[in-house]
Amino acid sequence: MSNVEIVQELYRAFSQKDYEAFRKVCASDVEWIQNEGFPNGSTHHGTDAVIKGVFDVLHNDWDSWRFKIEDYLDGGSSVVALGYYEGVHKVSKKSFHSAAAHVYDLLDGKVARFRQFTDTKVIWNAIT
């Protein structure tokens, strides 16, 4: 698989809660860096920490949550996914739309690092 295809498989695995596939496309010690100020955001190390601290939280806190990809930029060992988040919060029932970019650094055919860039205020407005 190309690096772009590996990132596409990561998004498929997330959307279908296929965590075994997620583990296969990521390095076991993947570094997952969420935007400063992102709800429940921090830096997670390892696939299990990402599943528990990121994916499970998003699935539990939001009635709907998705990252709609508009474009991939292939930078060789780095792939950028451009798009936007949208979702509806479980408690507030408010929705949001926030432009975002995800930067993936790959090493030996695995995602080694993820970095997130988005407008966190828009997301917090949906929570409160």
Q: Is the pTM of this model over 0.85?
A: yes
Task: State the average pLDDT over residues 17-45.
Answer: 93
For residue 82, give the amino acid letter: L
Tokens of 102: 């995800």
Burial of 64 (0-12, 13-18, 19+ CB in 10 A): exposed
Which of 85, 82, 76, 97 has its CA nearest to residue 4? 76
Does position 40 have pLDDT exceeding 90, yes or no?
Answer: no
Tokens of 13: 């695995």
Confidence of residue 36 (pLDDT cuts 50, 70, 90): confident
